[in-house]
Structure 1
Amino acid sequence: MKAVLGPLAVCVATVSLGGCGYIFGDDGYFRDRGSDYQLAEVEPRMKVPEGVESKQVGDLLPVPGELKAQSGKFSTPRPQPMQAGIGGEDFSVQQDGSRRWLQAQRAPAESWALVKQFLADYQVSAAREMQDPGEIQTEWLAFDKQSDNPLVRRLLPAVSEGRRTDGQEQRLRIRIEPGVRSDTSEVHVLQMSRSEGSDQSDWPERSQDSKVESAVLAELETYLNQSSEEDVASLAATRIPVAQRSELVRDGAGNPVLRMNVDFNRAWAAVGGALERSEVVVSDINRSSGVYYVDLSQTASERERPGFFSRLFNRDQPEDEQAEPRLQVRLTEVGGEIQVSVDQGIETAADAEVARDLLTRVRDNLN
């Protein structure tokens, strides 16, 4: 019997090794395809036929000018995050129903500095500047008396038909808010008018002349897209950062919570980005319930994806045998603001010290 088992074991081992080569080798079904991109060919750029107008489109996935083939095994370089906006522009006007804003692929602090430079170049004085929120209110402009002002000249043709400019004065409120994505911002414009000599000062909920608002956003879009990288760098030293819109407080039960004065969409994106920058492992999410499930037993960089055989042999185990203890980072809308809490379950708060430490890490990585 032993004489038979020996050769049989050798045969099984040989077949197994050969089978592994067939499955995982260079010619195997699950071979490493990380270097395949080096064999790709660059196709000529598409040309638009003559006589057809087309907006120039930049390269969304630019390829380095020179690639050197490398022998042996190496780590495929990760692409750099794309910061260009639609059509290769960093600033673009967006509209949702009657709401309009300027979407900026820039951090709020950079957008703040550029908007201030825009007002300076167009000779519009700021009556009030507030860091929290990032807001600039202009002085009143008399369109009939300041027709030589650069901004007034651009806005006069946009005044709605039937609206007077004589005896009227206008002002703008420009607000810079954090965008939904990390390192982006939104620029909102509100316009109001009043009769000269009036003491009316309360801002309306919406612009009183939507066409003037649209013209200001369009002018901002053109101006900011023409601003070069050097312009941004030169303003970086003097830029005024948008203040944090979050505060670590305690709720009625004495549990630590992070209070955020933003809407849910921005809070959800900001907290997700902060958890990623904190290297907190997010094992699952439930956006409809506003919950990130996190694992604090290891950092994201320490966590390794299970191997093929580990996933294969563990897939039939009951879920509770594989699951690691998780905490819930929960976002709840309360009174027009968002409260971020750390829970052990839907009705059980996490340990106060653990929750405070995690919320502090989230707050410190929001921007």
Structure 2
Amino acid sequence: MNSALKGLPLVALVAVTLAGCAKDGYYHDRNEDYAGAKVAAPLKLPETRDTSRYRDIMPVPEAAGQFYARESEFEAPLPQTMASSSAVNAGQVALRESAAGSWLVVGAPPAAVWPELERFSQMRGLQVTNKDASRGVISTADADIELRQGLRQGSSEIRCETAGQTNTLCLTELQSHLEARSASASIASMSAQQAPGAQSMELQKRGNDWVMIMPFAIDRAWAELNFQLSNNFDMQGRRELVSADETSKSFVIDYVTESERTRGFVDSLTSLSLWESTHRLNLTLTPQGSVTVMQVSSAEDETLSADDQRELLDFVSGLLR
């Protein structure tokens, strides 16, 4: 040992030794790197470059909705499932029904589904009277086939109608065709190459209350929400779908609100309830032009905080993403 270190206390000796290791030995102290970092000029690429070959490595999407400063302290939200049990996965086909009719939901964007509609009309020998790819419409002597963007990202909706009414035979045959093509991985493989184009839900604060704006007609919004709530609000004592009324476009649910989940021990003693309890809530859809607005309110004449409203609406919007 160096004679200059013999007189140092053990703690100081260890500190000196570790300092040397941090600088040149076993690990690198990044604090010094950050402290000495300098801003460099941005990299400039030649003007003659092929711009189609370049993109942002980590693009940041625009935020939908308004910034919200929570009324209470932040609490991490409940985790959502990686994939909803009712979600239509890539290439899958599902039937949706409402009082307004029936349609198919396909787990692929319209650009991937359109060639299959053309193939379907050719294989069935249908007499095509009009075909417009920009509008997603194939008109035949028997029915009109309409393709549109689905509610969920990367999905499509298909309708088969005759004189404005669902053509059940056309829809059934088309479902069989798409399921067969999906089984051969043709649709699924194409959907993986297409960028999702669905419009996103937006949460807005109106006065003291929060609402969710859905960029869809009310019949489509209600049918999809009815399907999703029926399949996902089935946890007894946590979240349950009590009733669904298509006439009034409303739902009644039992739900453990965020404030109920995060209340402290003292609040539990004060309320004489040590366990989390569900609250009966109303979800109501209202058409506003080309969009649908969903509001949440208490069905028990209780006050529902803005935090609780927003957390529930955010959870429900996750079912439609």
| TM category, shorter | 0.3 to 0.5
- Larger RCO, structures 1/2 (Cα 8 Å, 6+ apart): 2
Q: Output the TM-score relative to the length of structure 1.
A: 0.40
